[in-house]
Every structure is written in C-alpha cells, then in structure tokens.
Amino acid sequence: MERDRTLRAEDLGSVGLVGPARFEEIRRVAQEFAVALTADMAALIDPAHPADPIAAQFVPSGAELEIAREERTDPIGDERWAPVPGIVHRYPDRVLLKPTVLCPVYCRFCFRREVVGKQPAMLDRPALDRAFDYIRQRPEVWEVIVSGGDPFVLAPRRLGEVVRRLDHIPHVAVIRFHTRVPVVDPRRVKPPLIQALAAEKAVYVVLHANHPRELTTQAREAITRLSRAGIPLLSQTVLLRGVNDDASVLEALFRGLVALRVKPYYLHHADLARGTAHFRTGIRAGQRLVRALRGRVSGLCQPTYVLDIPGGYGKVPITPCAVSAEAETGKWNVEDGTGMQHAYPADPEG
Ligand code: SF4
C-alpha cells in the first residue's frame, strides 16, 4: 500500500479491510458521513481481528445508521456560539477558529461528523478575514484554539499565515492547535509545517490519540520533531467502548504519550453525535476507569475526564471525587488509589 495514499469508502474492499458482504453497508454509511483513513492507519489494522480497535475508529459500520433518540446533529452546541463562519465563541477568554473542515481521517465517533469532510472545505478569503476581524475586535480573547477539521492538513504556507495573523493581534497570548495529523498522518510533520508554527506568542499543539497502537514509530518521530522544535505538547483522548475502555489500554497510551513529552490533557466522555451509541460507555464506567488509573499511574499520566454538556453549555470535569464530607460533623472521608477510606479533619471554623 502506498504510504501517502488516503483510502476512501470505495477502496476498503480492494485493500482487504472489508469483505464484499459489507460493501452495501459501507456505501450507505458513506452517503451519510465522510469516510477516509490514511495508509498508515490502514496498515495498523489487523483484518483478521473482528474487533480491532484501529478498525473500529476508522472503518465505517452499519451501526452508524442507528440513530439513538438522545443523539444530536450538533452535540456540543457549536452553532449556538458561532457569531461568524469559522468562529465558535463559547467561553469569554477564548475562541475556536476553524479554517478547514477537512481531516486526514474521519473518526467514526466524531463529534463534528455532520460538518467534517463536507463542502465548503475551507473558509474562503473574505470569511477568514471576517473571522480574524472578530478576534481582533475582542480584547478579552486571550487564547485562540485552531481546530476544524484538522488545521494541520492546511498547506504550510496557509498554516503559517494563520499563525502570523494571530501572532500580530496584541491581546492574543496563546495559539493552540488541535490535530490528529502527527498520529494518523505523521509524514506531514515536516520542517515546513514546523516552521509555519513559529511565533512570538506561545504556540501549543494538542494531539488526538486513543490507543497505544497509534503511537507507531512514524508517529513517535513526528511527535519528537515537534517537541524538539520547542512546542509544548498535550493530548486528548476520547473514551470509546471497545477501543480504550480498559485501564491497561489507557495506562499504556498515557505512559507512551508522557514518555514522548506529551502531557495527557483531556479524556473526553464520548459526545451524543448521531450514530455513535455503539462507542459510548456510561459515565459510571468512565469514572471506574479513571479511579483505576489513579492507583496505577502518576499524576503526569492522568488527564482530566470531561463531558461537554449537550447543547453548548461547556466542558466540565466528571472525574470521580475522592472526598466526601460527613453531614453532621463536617469531617472528610478520603478515598485512596486502592479504594481504602481515610479520615481527614473538618474544615477550620470561618
Ligand atoms: S480528527 Fe477530530 S475532527 Fe477530524 S474526524 Fe477525527 S474527531 Fe472529527
């Protein structure tokens, strides 16, 4: 398989990822949601493994056509906070800038699956100008999160222009990129892309990775190229049934990331995107996993378990609480990493 090739729905049969019995199912899913995976990710899939965690993330399944009642077309309420095209302004001090809706892969659980991979793929020049004007006119915007789609699919020249324009806005202190490219399409992380990220302002890169097998030799090299350029790296992971809802899988992933100088930042509870019920765990199951991790790995390896409240009300931590107060005495009970309870004194008066 040529390594720079992107596979579409119609290619999955010819590379042996799905058999003829599933062609019709794949065709129907592809009419509804974008389908693509990189040759790197396709090569990681074991076609003989019926529940391969990499295949589950990228190869469409008929289960996506089953829409649960609670699922939404805009699960985290982006539209509600979109004052101009390409901008989501949900929190006062930061905005999301989405210059493209293209991705190198289309994750089957994507929270923006109704928009990614669709047309128009890029913000055109006037829309991009309006988006920058919006940021420029709001001195309260301290941080700009460049997302999408995946901003690292932009040509380095265009990416560099985004960085330069944000760098010139005096009140923007932090430029944060959210990307899956270093993991799923690591060959794109070449010197021109890294040079495009150079700025006076702080530039952070947040990688999306869900399974330790995604940290291939090529991905590790790409991540190392970014960290050697002095770019602080964080990661986000989506908790996915059948992919990583296992403490030892999450442990291996987070240890792998930290060893690559990537700080696990968020573990997302899967959003209520249409056709993704087969990926969602319960919150209680997620909390059990987080509790299990607490006993196994250092704080450096522990992201914050978060839920984006459906409807656009923002992200909140849903990490299990290790302390509870006795109602009568105010004394605290504290749970350690093994589940043992310990007493801690009540709060001082006043
Ligand atoms: S890379 Fe991110 S935005 Fe793109 S399909 Fe995957 S989850 Fe969605």
Encode pLDDT of 266-289 as tens digits.
Answer: 999 999 999 999 999 999 999 999
Across 153-164, b (16+ Cβ under 10 Å) vs e yields bbebebbbebbe
Considering only CA atoms, which residue is closest to atom 8 of ligand 1?
A: 110
Task: Give per-residue pLDDT as tens, 230-244.
Answer: 999 999 999 999 999
CA diameter of the chain: 71
Query: 21 Cβ partners below 8 Å, 6+ apart?
Result: none
SS (H, E, C) 151-190: HHHCCHHHHHHHHHHHHCCCCCCEEEEEECHHHHCHHHCC
Catalytic residue among 112, 213, 274, 291: 112
Task: Give per-residue pLDDT as tens, 27-61.
Answer: 999 999 999 999 999 999 999 998 999 999 999 99
- DSSP at 72: B
Which of 106, 154, 279, 308 should be mutated for ligand 1, with most atoms under 8 A from CB? 106
User: What's the pLDDT at 336?
Assistant: 86
Catalytic residue among 40, 90, 185, 274: 90
pTM score, two decimals? 0.96
Cis peptide before 182 (omega within 30 of 0): no
Count the neighbouring beta carbons within 10 Å of the beta carbon of residue 140: 11
Closest CA to 40 of 12, 13, 5: 5
Which of 35, 37, 180 should be mutated for ligand 1, with most atoms under 8 A from CB? 180
State both tokens at 74: 């805009």
The position carrying tokens 């090299």 is 221
- Across the range 62-82, mean pLDDT stands at 97
Give CA–CA dist 294/12, Å, rounded: 39
Residues with CB under 6 A from ligand 1: 103, 106-107, 110, 112, 116, 149-150, 180, 208
> Distances from the Cα of 304 to the Cαs of 126, 223, 333, in angstroms?
38, 22, 22
